Amino acid sequence: ATAANNTLGFKPSIIGIVFPRDTNQLTRLVSLAKAHQIGIHTVSQGKNVGYGDMTPAQANQLIINLSFLNQILDYDPRGGTIVVQPGVTQQQLSDFLIGQGGEFWADMTGASPSSSIIGNTIDGGFGHTPLGNHRKHILSVEVLLENGQILKTLEMPATGPDLSQLFVQTNFGIVLSMRIPLLRAPEKALTYTVSLNSDESLGAAIEIFRKLQLSGVVESLVHIGNSTRTLMTSTAFPSEISREVTIDEQHARRILKDRLGLDPGAWTAVGCLYGFKSEVKEKARFLEAAFRDCGKVRFVTDQKLNLVSWILNLKILANFKRVAMIRRSVDSLRAIHGLMRGRPSSVPIDNILWRTTTSESCGLIWHAPVVSNSKEDMHRLLLASRTTFAKFGFEMPLTLTLINPRKAIAVFNINFDRSRSNETERAQTAYKELGEQCRKMGFSSYRYSILGQPVVTENVPHEKLLNGLKKLFDPDCILAPGRYGLGTTAEPEPKRS
């Protein structure tokens, strides 16, 4: 029952869950599944929150949880790389690197510290630093195939294509280990925020960031959240407001202004500058100059955060209503500041408890279309999405992540109460309608929940090729049938012995 639980409100039947202790046991499990024609769905830690947790894409599958395969197999401080198994968590990797002297940082996501490095990367996830586009930075993988063969891909440059990418968002094999690059800790890392007052300022900011990324001033990923997203990261659902009320972006901005004592703007961008002290100082000067006419730039340091925290803890301020919200806002900013330095935090994932107070009733579905870094595409996306969220009666928290100078990933979260069946149904319908709208506008998704599958690609020749590769790698369709739409035709009734 726990294994089948997820935030989507989707409840397929599963056969059970198994925790292999090593590669030999995993190989035997795959062999048994093949012999009995049982589909197996493999997860690393099962923390795919908002996309399905550890739930398979189709019913009657056996979940194989690889959390016991949690070794760091190789650390190369000379080349700045590391090899991890599926069970290695963000916290585990961060602690290991600190124990090695902190010379290198690993890129971290806003997911739980107990989530898997490999799990996120294989589903195409992203983080914050210059290494934030995770799928782009896979150096090599070791993969167990359906026939029991272990394939080790070559680290590029080498002869032939990069086979490592074949195992991202597919079900061709089970990744046993992965080599990833690390970020050498710079002399200085300066976190910044940029407050933007309108959608017009957002459009201008996207153009500015594109130029700064192309010039090398901005190397980290840039995350831009709307006022609803900022409100959710700053406070719990306002107690004085009925939970039947939908808080739109303008209302969220007014609440923030009232409680924080300042206007955070319609949008807030967050990023980090890396390099030598003199280099970062020059980059900061460029950043401020670039946003002089459309945004307010603020820089975040440990000293500033510690000073504000010290002031907020003064007894004389204990009874002020704003203090609790300001403290939570500072905690959220401190978490982001840490993520820019390879330090995982539970704060971002804790903030998903918006309309509910318990994880058991927390409903969450991520919708994540990819758009070009242009104000025209952003305007089209915002216009359609705002209409749909209002139609179904949900807040519209949105973070735009500028993944590179050409593309942005727009991550919407649909928050609802799973204990209410009508809310669950509305949320699932809203998710499907948003996906259909985006496809009509030419915006594909960077990642799908199990509600969005079967979907391989909107490109028919690609779909035929990928399904052909599925038959080649997994002719009996044992490995996660239905994942990303691959192998959907075979869903045999499991044989029991």
Q: How far apart are CA 102 and CA 113, in angstroms?
A: 18
pLDDT for residue 85 is more than 80: yes
Helix, strand or coil for residue 5?
Answer: coil
Report the share of the chain in percent with pLDDT over 70.
Answer: 95
Mean pLDDT of all residues in 196-225: 95
Q: How far apart are CA 382 and CA 191, in angstroms?
A: 27
pLDDT for residue 214 is more than 60: yes
Q: How far apart are CA 417 and CA 105, in angstroms?
A: 37
The pLDDT value recorded for residue 457 is: 56
pLDDT for residue 288 is more than 70: yes
**Do residues 225 and 203 touch, judged by C-beta distance below 8 A?**
no
Residues 6+ apart with CB under 8 A from 489: 477
Helix, strand or coil for residue 194?
Answer: strand
pLDDT digits (tens, 9 = 90+) for 44-67: 999 999 999 999 988 999 999 999
Q: How confident is the model at residue 492 (pLDDT cuts 50, 70, 90)?
A: very low
The pLDDT value recorded for residue 489 is: 47
Report the share of the chain in percent with pLDDT over 90.
Answer: 72
Mean pLDDT of all residues in 119-129: 96
Mean pLDDT of all residues in 243-272: 87
Residues 6+ apart with CB under 8 A from 435: 367, 445, 452
Q: How confident is the model at residue 354 (pLDDT cuts 50, 70, 90)?
A: confident
* Identity of the residue numbered 156: M
Of 192-206, 274-288, 365-379, 443-457, the poorest mean pLDDT is in 443-457
pLDDT for residue 319 is more than 80: no
Mean pLDDT of all residues in 439-447: 91
Radius of gyration of the chain (CA): 23
Q: How confident is the model at residue 4 (pLDDT cuts 50, 70, 90)?
A: confident
Q: How far apart are CA 339 and CA 307, in angstroms?
A: 20
Q: How confident is the model at residue 460 (pLDDT cuts 50, 70, 90)?
A: low
**Do residues 90 and 144 touch, judged by C-beta distance below 8 A?**
no
The pLDDT value recorded for residue 327 is: 75
The pLDDT value recorded for residue 356 is: 82
306-335 b/e with 16+ CB inside 10 Å = b?
eebeeebeeeeeeeeeebebbbbbbbbbbb
Mean pLDDT of all residues in 182-193: 96
More reliable by pLDDT, 465 or 103: 103
The pLDDT value recorded for residue 453 is: 59
Q: How far apart are CA 253 and CA 264, in angstroms?
A: 7
Burial of 395 (0-12, 13-18, 19+ CB in 10 A): buried
Mean pLDDT of all residues in 447-454: 78
The pLDDT value recorded for residue 438 is: 92
Q: How far apart are CA 177 and CA 75, in angstroms?
A: 13
The pLDDT value recorded for residue 245 is: 87
pLDDT for residue 456 is more than 70: no
The pLDDT value recorded for residue 490 is: 43
Strand 39-43 to strand 61-65: parallel, antiparallel, or no bridges (unpaired)?
parallel
Q: How far apart are CA 390 and CA 431, in angstroms?
A: 13
pLDDT for residue 229 is more than 90: yes
pLDDT digits (tens, 9 = 90+) for 11-39: 888 999 999 999 999 999 999 999 999 99
pLDDT for residue 156 is more than 70: yes
The pLDDT value recorded for residue 286 is: 95
pLDDT for residue 321 is more than 50: yes
pLDDT digits (tens, 9 = 90+) for 374-389: 989 999 999 999 999 9
Burial of 91 (0-12, 13-18, 19+ CB in 10 A): middle
